[in-house]
Structure 1
Amino acid sequence: MSNSATLEQLLEPFASRPVARTAAGDLQRLMQKLIVHGFSHLPLPGHGQTLERWRTLAAVAACDLALAKVFEGHTDALAIMAELEPDATPVPGSWGIWAAEPPFARVKIIGREGDQLYLQGKKAWCSGAPLLDHALVTVWDEQHQPQLVAVALSQPAISMSEEGWQAVGMASSASLDVHFELALARGVGMPGQYLDRPGFWQGGAGIAACWFGAACALAGYLRQHCTKPHHDVHAQAHLGTVDATLGAAAAALRETAQWIDAHPRDSAELQVRRVRAQVEAAVSVVLEHVGRALGATPYCRDSHFARLAADLPVYVRQSHAEKDLAELGKQVAAQPVGEWLL
């Protein structure tokens, strides 16, 4: 890793930019700097330093969640390729991972020529689409099996549409619809392997680390407020609630990282579903109590706070709420009695 700049030095100017400033080009340039300086080469999950990986994701999210969305996708794509193609070297550049499968948008393999695949269809929710060089994309093969493919995004056979992306929060993540018209790709791993590998759930916890980092950044404004003279006791009560909640979420993330490193080849689905639910609950508490304590001022006068407060409710909806909780409950019910004992 280059020592020419620290992560904090690269992130701080981006975090403090005015809200009105168009961020897409700035985000792309910062991503390139993070890659060049080596900050995107994180420890792989399940290799003994999972918590260090999540700390970097949380630090980037504390700066800007649109940046975190693209950065996390890039680092996840590198981890996926390391897991499925351990002897291959990824093509240089920025990467994304596009795996959403809504019923209205599917991409299919419609032809093959040697190792090259031809893709046809539309992919939705493609984060960072106009900012990236390459993407891993989930598609469907001729036998209707899911297959992961790698695609270079500079092809004329690939086009992008903004019509499906009307977000205010997370607007600069540029999560567009991408259209493939006989676009070339190559297979990564075997059919179904993307979902079946241990790294699938390990990567899912990295997203919770991003939620957590942003929540901590918002909580930091409340903590700073409570160090000033003449703050009110209600703000202290809000800070106490936030501290207890974030402390529990941090402990849960540390415990989950330790479990993943101790069981790198096992499915972490139960552990990750649980920690995502815990961090999501913490996010809700932080958003409520920080807002109630500080009032409208930071929403209106601090660009960094305003962006995080607008982006975090959108980003955390990557959780499926009660659907995810129901699946967690189903899995917990199948576990031996005593799971909650100290």
Structure 2
Amino acid sequence: MVTSWPASEDQPSTLPALAPPLARLIEGAGPDVGTLITPTLDWVRTVAEVAPLPGDDTRARWRLLAETARLDVGAARMLEPHLDALAIIAEADRDGVLAEPLDTHGTWGVFAAEGGDRPVQAEQQPDGRWTLTGRKPWCSLAAHLDRALVTAWRGDERGLFAIDLRGPGVTALPGPWHARGLRQVVSAPIDLDAAPAVPVGGPGWYLRRSGFAEGGMGVAAVWWGSALPLVDALTAAASRDGADQLAAVFAGRADAASWSASVVLDAAAGAVDGGRATGEAAKLLAARVRAVVAASAREILDLESRALGPGPVAVDESHARRVADLELYLRQDHADRDLARLGRLAVGASA
């Protein structure tokens, strides 16, 4: 079973398949893409060369993320932040807020999590250059990437800075990382000690920029794509000789959950491309999309467990890895806290 994207107002049949260059990259991904870091990052760089930017063809961009996740969750987990970083840099360039040109040929991460007792502080030196000092948590693949966009405090507001992860003053810690899902995508802290940095926008620009919401919805596209092979597995179980009515119920519920997520993503992509996802409307749209898609993916995971039992996660390495990877990746959604934020945004929009 292949789950297609739904029809939309401006495309009355179905969304077109990935453009040939992207489709060939998905089809030609080697067996190590997603599981081994170096070949996956090499593949990520190649894909990024032809991936559309947000607002240019967001449907194709999210379809690319979803199809990558269908191929391998780990591969999508490495591709998504690299594409997000390039989109942020392009947006900063369009807004005229890049302090200096940045080399986008290497691999990039986006490290914007906060926490710990040594939050990263930005300091401007007498010669005008900036340095970062502190500990930044949750820095995925920092030991393997070339560069990263990092948030740091500039007084009472957070700013965004580009750093060379191989440069002076940057130490990528090896752990702790005991996750059973996404085991190859180590998300450990980095220590910064007067690390040279390039400002990307002024204080607060990163959070206020128009593309912030789109990046969060791109993650939701990965969640949806990650769940598609589980929907296929439930459909296959319901198709077997002797399958009972419950198997059909589980397959039907999974199909409905997947379809609802795809409809929401398609509508949101149309809003982004149509210039309707800006300001507070963009925040509300992103919160709704993430809530719907996260709930759909969680329902599919629950149905997988109830319908298929322990067998696939015990004896099928690919299936077991997908379940563990998706369960961990979904924790980027903050569950009830994000729903509370959605509620506040919805109340504000109706006022």
User: How far apart are 1:2 and its partner, in Å?
Assistant: 9.3
The one-letter code sitting in structure 2 at the alignment partner of 1:304 is S
Q: TM-score, normalised by structure 2?
A: 0.86
Mapped contact 1:40–1:75 kept (Cα < 8 A): no
Q: Deviations over 1:266-315 (max 9, x none)?
A: 12110110010001110111001122111222112222211110111111
Unaligned runs of 5+ in 2: 1-18
Distance 2:232 2:49 in 1: 25
User: How far apart are 1:116 and its partner, in Å?
Assistant: 2.9
Q: Secondary structure at the match of 2:31?
A: helix
Determine whether 1:108 maps to 2:121.
Answer: yes
Mapped contact 1:107–1:140 kept (Cα < 8 A): yes
Partner of 1:99: 112
Mapped contact 1:81–1:90 kept (Cα < 8 A): no
Partner of 1:34: 44
Partner of 1:43: 52
RMSD: 2.3
Q: Secondary structure at the match of 1:313?
A: helix
User: How far apart are 1:185 and its partner, in Å?
Assistant: 1.1
Determine whether 1:280 maps to 2:289.
Answer: no
* Higher RCO, Cα 8 Å, sep 6+: 1
Distance 1:241 1:196 in 2: 38
Mapped contact 1:201–1:272 kept (Cα < 8 A): yes
Count of aligned pairs: 326
Distance 1:171 1:134 in 2: 21
Q: 1:66 aligns with which of 67, 74, 88?
A: 74
User: How far apart are 1:194 and its partner, in Å?
Assistant: 0.4
Determine whether 1:168 maps to 2:180.
Answer: yes
When residues 264 and 155 of structure 1 are mapped into structure 2, their CA distance, relative to the original with a 3 A threshold, is farther
Q: Secondary structure at the match of 1:320?
A: coil
The one-letter code sitting in structure 2 at the alignment partner of 1:29 is P
Partner of 2:31: 13
Partner of 1:306: 320
Mapped contact 2:44–2:78 kept (Cα < 8 A): no
Q: TM-score, normalised by structure 1?
A: 0.88
User: How far apart are 1:112 and its partner, in Å?
Assistant: 2.2
Superposition map of 1:1-342 within 5 A: 6-11=24-29, 13-14=31-32, 23=35, 26-36=36-46, 38-39=47-48, 41-47=50-56, 49-86=57-94, 88=101, 90-112=103-125, 114=127, 116-141=129-154, 143-263=155-275, 266-267=278-279, 268-336=282-350
Distance 1:12 1:306 in 2: 20
The one-letter code sitting in structure 2 at the alignment partner of 1:8 is I
Mapped contact 1:226–1:235 kept (Cα < 8 A): yes
Mapped contact 2:138–2:187 kept (Cα < 8 A): yes
Q: Deviations over 1:153-211 (max 9, x none)?
A: 11242112234432222221111110111211111111110000010011110010011
Q: Secondary structure at the match of 1:281?
A: helix
Unaligned runs of 5+ in 1: 18-22, 338-342
Distance 2:104 2:283 in 1: 30
Mapped contact 2:177–2:187 kept (Cα < 8 A): yes
When residues 236 and 99 of structure 1 are mapped into structure 2, their CA distance, relative to the original with a 3 A threshold, is same
Identity of aligned residues (%): 35
When residues 135 and 283 of structure 1 are mapped into structure 2, their CA distance, relative to the original with a 3 A threshold, is same
